[in-house]
Structure 1
């Protein structure tokens, strides 16, 4: 009670103060032993967009402790800045120190934490778990490529974002590092400068011992999968007394042997026996046999997406007869408290070597009853999907996040449940999905078509999404991008304006509107929008590249170089960014720098025509 009253008093005083001279506190989101989090509005930006401030609680404010806190706080800020370029990791907006307190301003994530969906005593199906693990490992593969170990993968650190249904990985832990354990060794008086975090049940033995590795994260993801499959918290699963391996399979006897093998390797006691990085674990999951080999259930699965207005699907075991129910919370639950206790241990800063590439994101799926399909005893049912050769409809449904239900007839042969009544995904999707989910599903379909260069088909699909849910901002953004690809900038601007009307904080839409203005030749208008995007989401590489490109078109080469350097700091593997830098340095007669930039571009992409043309021009001019 005393602590609660103290927190309320602090909140009341903070509401009267602008944090960092620009952030107005709206309300407190959470308070724990290590930090407090607040929902704030940024008064320095148009429309006062929301973001989240995390305040570090430093109890001991002597000079040595504050210096250590400052160093570790800066470390987390650098890591977040580095990782925030990924669309499924919150972007760092700012970090600052004020009155010997430390603050992080991060992107506002509105969504539902995974620990509200992985419930005790309610096991998930095998198919659903595989898709979840793949989506988590795709994000984690990016993290590992940046030479960072997360160290605290658990359900409450994964958010299903309402806006587009994608998972977001949060909490990279340096703030908790500062206050997690004594900064001075009680016996030697030496400064403890290496601290890190972890959660009981998700943390392998080498992390307890202070030597986390990339495979420590792999272990935590494996535990996440086992928790979903068994419906048991990992602390309730015993170890084999001889091998020290987790004895979890007795709680999920129907899981296929192929998935068991992958999960067992992910959670080996000895880190040397695990997949070394998330990428290797992801590849193992992607190479699993098709789901025909496992009993998954008799219900059709549908793509699970958060729709507009904070509504999402109801799960089969929930007390509801409706297909759609209110989401668990409308708070940015990335920053709320959770039942998983985080423990902290002295360890080294978690950096190492790792390689790999992220694959396309697969959707999380949720069970849903479908009209026209009969329910059968689980022991007589199989769900099949994936690559089934000539069974084209099976492939189409599996690739779309759906599977087909089958049963055994009297002769022991598999026959489909009313196969002829399976609706067309393109013509009768409304039979399966309520409007909000249908809009999200169609938007994801449009995104895939757009990525394949099928712009008219993508535009048509986005239009269908808008027709299904007129307030779904992501569909308008997709429409904007498709119209830009089709060279229809005026219509694209209108679509981006619609996206911004339904989502006030939407940096991607601001940037795309800039692309449309640039396509019309309105370079100054485009530049303003790119600058706005840089302020809204500093970690977005593409907006810095856009800004540098337009500045160069305007003949402002020195400014272009500054912007491009910001882009390259976020993504060194862009041939276009290096080419623009080469062009800008050439304009300023910095010929050696131009040659270096163009050669770097051609190393990344030997066939990139703009770089080849500029490099040839340089050779002819300089004779080398």
Structure 2
């Protein structure tokens, strides 16, 4: 097989891995200039009888369809092509150079709480996008997450077990339930309903919670006992220093009963974002220190490698894309946290001084003492100049740890000295997003501007500027910012929708409608664009079309008072008075203080006399 071209164009370099249903190969594409690398995933078909081939073709078509739908997200590998050849099925995907997360989530090596929160937030941000597309991943685990070398971001891979729910009835879409009857996933990361073949969106939330617990405790999930009375995981005893706030979020993520969990990744993400911030909102609670040749002089690893720490046979990976360059640079995060004295409470801060912090790398360290010492000294110099206090020592075992509190004059912290531009822009944009949600618009705009200054082509920062300028009632500037976002990211339905908001703010309803329709076509699962479309159609007096659009919005989120209000207004215009009253009462049931629904309901009562 490796002597021939796959699909007539892909030349195999080597096999990367093999799992229960597939094999993956690193290949070069001979049809494109410079013969770029990509990854071919072959769906294995052991039995070529008609029934087996039909099942394989169904799995293949499902994964291809979902990857086409999801692959435009920057942290999901893009699908380049798919084809069938000699009753074998192949997917060509973007090549991601990086290291699998299971290389860092190691048995017996618990992570700090700060690091766990950052990991969970990053995974849930990707997964929230997946859930908005009405897709359940069903196999979230360390080996299906890759830390990409070029920017340190996580990439979610292996969508071979996905389940789409967009074609399910409305009630199923609300709960995330599906009619799948086969249990697919990985032991330890699968909740009970997934074992029964009935996964929900909250099944993915469970798996992410297990990932966090594994990192926090240093224990494989199958080694964590269940409470014999409640069947809940008794994990807290293995992480006695975890904060009660984070523990409560993790507990809810991994509840035995799916009805007690966060229903989707978005709700879990919001709970994490509302946790107390030990660094009081400072940008850069996670920093990447580059060590050449990976850890201990080793590059990225693959399933089956002798030096791969792995996760054991119960956590076999079916990767779709990962690095193979043994000489490439690996990125290892560094925790920034308050220092502790002998494992006790944080040291007090001196009045008027900078925070005393310990800067301690995690993951494996370079084996050369000279490299480690130089790294500590140079890092200390950078931090000193940036206004942070350094308190480090290397003990006899070669482990770096804090040894005393040191105080520096109060200085501005410039973590940009240590971050590549794209990482700094990403961190600043996330801080801007938080400020925007809090209604602190001028502060958010300043942060987005700083992100753009750091990385001039970072599209999410321009989108943040656009949304903030809309909130500040500056629609002309907002349109320019959205245009910048679209110039640097050709597939950006959120920016298309936000540009529509700016056009609508200027009263240009037809221009706004065209943009909302475009956003619907680009991302059918986006609730907000359907709601916007329905609102503008109603403003234009096209009530029947408004009703159809808002029904699409309600199918994606039944708990929107605005959506039910627009529906009631459309039905009222169409003289469907009884249905309009029902819609308005539903809106007020969701939000009794929703002014437009209350006013329209009052007028309806006066008109119909009830």
Q: Is this a same-fold pair by TM over 0.5?
A: yes
C-alpha separation in 2, matches of 1:383 and 1:461? 32
Number of residue equivalences = 505
Q: Give the superposition deviation at 1:572.
A: 0.9
C-alpha separation in 2, matches of 1:104 and 1:590? 52
- Partner residue in 2 for 1:303: 285
Q: Give the superposition deviation at 1:142.
A: 11
Q: 2:453 aligns with which of 454, 458, 467?
A: 467
Q: 1:420 aligns with which of 408, 414, 419?
A: 408
Correspondence 1:314 to 2:289: yes
C-alpha separation in 2, matches of 1:119 and 1:274? 26
Please show how residues 54-69 of structure 1 align to structure 2 within 5 Å. Answer: none
> Which digits, 9 at most, give the CA deviation of each residue in 1:344-368, with x for residues without a partner?
9xxxxxxxxxxxxxxxxxxx99316
The question of whether the paired residues in 1 share the 8 Å contact of 2:136 and 2:201 is answered with yes
C-alpha separation in 1, matches of 2:475 and 2:559? 29
Q: 1:437 aligns with which of 423, 427, 436?
A: 423
Correspondence 1:507 to 2:496: no
Q: Give the superposition deviation at 1:437.
A: 2.7
SS in structure 1 at match of 2:184:
strand
The question of whether the paired residues in 1 share the 8 Å contact of 2:354 and 2:410 is answered with no
C-alpha separation in 1, matches of 2:439 and 2:558? 25
C-alpha separation in 1, matches of 2:586 and 2:88? 39
- Partner residue in 2 for 1:530: 516
* Structure 1 pair 499–383 and aligned structure 2 pair: CA distance change class (3 A): farther
Q: Give the superposition deviation at 1:37.
A: 9.7
Please show how residues 484-523 of structure 1 align to structure 2 within 5 Å. Answer: 484-523=470-509
- Partner residue in 2 for 1:458: 444
- Partner residue in 2 for 1:277: 261
Q: Give the superposition deviation at 1:231.
A: 6.7
SS in structure 2 at match of 1:610:
helix
C-alpha separation in 1, matches of 2:214 and 2:350? 33
> Which digits, 9 at most, give the CA deviation of each residue in 1:272-296, with x for residues without a partner?
699963689999999999989xxxx
* Structure 1 pair 594–212 and aligned structure 2 pair: CA distance change class (3 A): closer
C-alpha separation in 1, matches of 2:186 and 2:432? 39
TM-score, normalised with respect to structure 2:
0.60
C-alpha separation in 2, matches of 1:596 and 1:221? 39
- Partner residue in 2 for 1:604: 590
The question of whether the paired residues in 2 share the 8 Å contact of 1:92 and 1:104 is answered with no
- Partner residue in 2 for 1:228: 215
Correspondence 1:579 to 2:565: yes
* Structure 1 pair 559–55 and aligned structure 2 pair: CA distance change class (3 A): farther
SS in structure 2 at match of 1:505:
coil
Q: Give the superposition deviation at 1:423.
A: 3.7
Q: Give the superposition deviation at 1:523.
A: 1.6
Q: 1:615 aligns with which of 591, 601, 606?
A: 601
The question of whether the paired residues in 1 share the 8 Å contact of 2:283 and 2:415 is answered with no
Correspondence 1:10 to 2:18: no
The question of whether the paired residues in 2 share the 8 Å contact of 1:200 and 1:341 is answered with no
SS in structure 2 at match of 1:366:
strand
- Partner residue in 2 for 1:367: 334
Q: Give the superposition deviation at 1:99.
A: 12
Q: Return 5+ residue gaps in structure 1 as ranges.
A: 14-27, 39-51, 178-191, 293-299, 306-312, 322-326, 330-337, 345-363, 409-413
The question of whether the paired residues in 1 share the 8 Å contact of 2:184 and 2:195 is answered with no
Q: Give the superposition deviation at 1:430.
A: 3.4
Q: Give the superposition deviation at 1:433.
A: 3.9
The question of whether the paired residues in 2 share the 8 Å contact of 1:141 and 1:277 is answered with no
Deviates more, 1:99-108 or 1:414-423: 99-108
C-alpha separation in 2, matches of 1:393 and 1:259? 24
The question of whether the paired residues in 1 share the 8 Å contact of 2:16 and 2:24 is answered with yes
Deviates more, 1:119-128 or 1:562-571: 119-128
- Partner residue in 2 for 1:152: 139
The question of whether the paired residues in 1 share the 8 Å contact of 2:193 and 2:258 is answered with no
C-alpha separation in 1, matches of 2:593 and 2:248? 43
The question of whether the paired residues in 1 share the 8 Å contact of 2:101 and 2:143 is answered with yes
- Partner residue in 2 for 1:565: 551
Q: Give the superposition deviation at 1:482.
A: 1.1
RMSD between superposed Cα atoms in Å? 6.6
- Partner residue in 1 for 2:577: 591
SS in structure 1 at match of 2:558:
coil
C-alpha separation in 1, matches of 2:92 and 2:476? 33
Q: Give the superposition deviation at 1:228.
A: 3.4
C-alpha separation in 1, matches of 2:422 and 2:52? 50
Q: Give the superposition deviation at 1:542.
A: 0.8
Q: Give the superposition deviation at 1:256.
A: 3.9
Q: Give the superposition deviation at 1:135.
A: 2.8
C-alpha separation in 2, matches of 1:548 and 1:417? 59
The question of whether the paired residues in 2 share the 8 Å contact of 1:73 and 1:174 is answered with no
Q: Give the superposition deviation at 1:203.
A: 5.1
C-alpha separation in 1, matches of 2:541 and 2:95? 38
* Structure 1 pair 198–245 and aligned structure 2 pair: CA distance change class (3 A): same
Q: Give the superposition deviation at 1:475.
A: 1.2
- Partner residue in 2 for 1:194: 181
C-alpha separation in 2, matches of 1:303 and 1:114? 22
Q: Give the superposition deviation at 1:152.
A: 2.4
> Which digits, 9 at most, give the CA deviation of each residue in 1:83-131, with x for residues without a partner?
99xx9997999xx999999999999998967627626589463224431
Q: Return 5+ residue gaps in structure 2 as ranges.
A: 26-38, 165-178, 302-309, 317-330, 360-386, 394-401
C-alpha separation in 2, matches of 1:597 and 1:396? 55
* Structure 1 pair 471–122 and aligned structure 2 pair: CA distance change class (3 A): farther
C-alpha separation in 1, matches of 2:594 and 2:274? 33
